[in-house]
Amino acid sequence: MNNYESIYNPGSVAVTEEKPAVTFTKAERITAILMLLAGFLWIRLCLYHASGVFTTLLYAGIITAQIVCLHRSGVQLTRSEKLTCAVLYVFSLVYTITDNDLLKGLTTVFLALTGCLFLVHVGNPNGDILRYLPVSLAKGLFVTPTCKVDTAFRSVCTGTRSKGFWKNAGFVVLGLMLAVPVTFIAGVLLYQADDNMAKLLDSLFQIPSSEVMTLFPHLLIGLVVGSFVFSALYCALHKLQGVHPETCAEMAGNCRIIPTPLLCAMATPLCLLYILFFFSQLQYFLGGFTGDIKGFTYAEYARRGFFELCGVCCMNVLVIGFMGFFAKLRDNRKPLALKLYGAFLCVSSLLLAGTAIAKMFLYIHVYGMTPLRVYTTWFMLLLVIGFTLLLIRQFKENFNLGKVMTVAFTLMFAVLCFSRPDAWMTRYNAEMYLSGALERFDCELLTEMSDDAYAALSHYNDTDLQNLLTDKNYSAVKRFTLKADRTNAEFWENTNLPAWELMAWEGSLDGE
């Protein structure tokens, strides 16, 4: 009934439709509290303190809480979703088995992306989210965590009964949260103003004032992180944000506006340049496979153009992606010319990547391993896999590139993380040096590596250690001694596998 009708008919009453009140199940309320707590613990155990076994347990708890909430809400996980949960559990072990900060940081990003894709798939069980991977990631990272960011706090403050226990408990929890910053600030000021108050607070909490000052920002940021996680879970439960294949296909179709002749003309000079480059450098490239590098030392040969070749391969990925995404189709099929151009760029990239890998293997064989050499080689191997899949995609248009590439990257990343590269690099260099295959053992390199390297050295006997860590390498010997003495390390630094190995080695020395 509109306003005019209510005016001309005084007896009538305007009726406004009210939105139904949002209610939360018991499982959702409990999970919201756990996610808010987990957000704070994540800041402390993953970003602030040295991560280790407690970080692994935290991730396992977050995953388990989400699975239980989904199960109690009547969601039946598919086979691929169960496999994704298993992947999340397995990669959470990285924080325990290694002390490599780079790998732990990359694992944090990987777990965040995989967790987002898991929840997006739960919210779209019939949607092929990996085929439209960029859209799925955008939904999982930005849309679903923010669209219902207040649900975690609302679920704590409300319940299925508007005046029940959970509502009052939610108000109490919220009030305590709001009191935290004021209480902390007042406590720190009183701590600094009066010695007796400082002694009293020390005896009560045994927490340094500097630690108290960090708790408030960690709590605040942690609550935000926890609310984002619960928002993504809530949207997945109630199917609030979907990745619809029809919409994604329509969006992709709207981007296909560039004619084939224009794209071919753009790619032709690049292809001709590659042909000239391969013919002019044929002998030079084959040297990486045959070992014939006349006119160069091994170091000069391996470093000459290696990173430039990596850059060219990365540029080719962008060119192939641009051609495949913006090309105008004929009867919903890619023209043969574009397939041939894309295939040529893939083959060229495979040759460049293969040459770069061969050069790096030759360099490692002569001079040993370093993190930069190993990581760049791993990246080039990943590019080889990617270009091989792109080559298949050129001629098989129904090939699910996103799904296969996601599986391939997960397996490659698992190899990198669970091989503990600092440990096996150190063992490789040590064994090659002790056998006489390497001229020197780079002790200074150890100062740039994690505890994994020192844990690997702890398995050698005294004679081999003296040969590896000579007195001339004073800094390396001193650092190894400090690393082995775990009594001076913080508690959080002793919560991973390399620290346990070093403590076991130190204990065996004390026993002797």
Q: Looking at the structure, do residues 270 and 304 belong to the same domain, yes or no? A: yes
End position of a domain, from candidates 412, 445, 471: 412
Q: How confident is residue 1, by pLDDT bands cut at 50, 70 and 90?
A: very low
Residue 258 has pLDDT above 50, yes or no: yes
Name the band, by pLDDT with cuts 50, 70 and 90, for residue 178: confident
Return the pLDDT at 2: 47
- 238 and 342 share one domain: no
Same domain, 292 and 224: no
Residue 99's nearest CA partner among 43, 57, 42, 50 is: 50
pLDDT over threshold 90, residue 175? no
**Residue 74 included in any domain:** yes
**Contact by Cβ (8 Å): 198, 192:** yes
Please check whether residues 240 and 387 belong to one and the same domain. no
Over residues 292-321, the mean pLDDT reads: 68
Q: Which residue has the higher pLDDT, 14 or 224?
A: 224
Most confident of 240-244, 295-299, 322-326: 322-326
Say how far apart CA 135 and CA 141 lie, in whole Å. 10
Q: Report the pLDDT averaged over residues 459-471.
A: 78
Answer yes or no: do 387 and 437 share one domain: no
- Is the pLDDT reported for residue 450 higher than 80? yes
In a domain, 11, yes or no: no
Write down which residue in 224, 246, 268 finishes a domain.
Answer: 246
The Cα-based distances of 28 to 84, 163, 239, 449, 498 in angstroms read 22, 18, 15, 43, 39
Higher pLDDT among residues 468 and 286, named by residue? 468
Q: Based on the domain organization, do 342 and 393 belong to the same domain?
A: yes
Helix and strand counts by DSSP (H, E) for the chain = 25, 0
pLDDT of residue 254 exceeding 70, the answer is yes
Q: Is the pLDDT of residue 8 over 50?
A: no
Residue 386 within any structural domain of the chain: yes
Q: What is the mean pLDDT of residues 265-272?
A: 89
Do residues 241 and 295 both lie within one domain? no
Same domain, 293 and 392: yes
Q: Would you say residue 10 lies in a domain?
A: no
Share of the chain above pLDDT 70, in %: 77
Region for residue 74 given its phi and psi (left: phi exceeds 0; alpha: psi -120 to 50; beta: otherwise): left
Residue-level pLDDT at 458: 84
Q: Has residue 21 been placed in a domain? A: no
**What's residue 333's pLDDT?**
79
Task: Please indicate, yes or no, if residue 16 is contained in any of the structural domains.
Answer: no
Q: Are 195 and 66 contained in the same domain?
A: yes
Q: Which of 369, 351, 379 is nearest to 423 (CA)?
A: 369
Q: Which of 493, 9, 173 is nearest to 165 (CA)?
A: 173
| Stated pTM of the model | 0.81
Strand extents, DSSP E, 25-160 = none
159 with 72, same domain?
yes
The pLDDT assigned to 173 comes to: 67
Give the position of tokens 């849309």.
143
**Measuring CA to CA, which residue among 504, 508, 510, 489 is closest to residue 52?**
489
Task: Supply the range of the domain harboring residue 329.
Answer: 256-412
Which tens digits make up the pLDDT trace of 98-140? 999 999 999 999 999 999 889 888 888 777 777 777 777 777 7
Q: Give domain status of residue 7, yes or no.
A: no
- Residues 406, 485 within the same domain: no
Residues 261 and 349 in one domain: yes
pLDDT of residue 294: 53
Q: Does the pLDDT at position 3 exceed 50? A: no
| Domain annotation covers residue 45 | yes
Q: How many domains does the chain have?
A: 3
Residue 59: name the closest of 77, 41, 47 by CA.
Answer: 41
Task: Among 382, 412, 442, give the residue marking a domain's end.
Answer: 412
Side chain identity at 99, as an amino acid letter? D
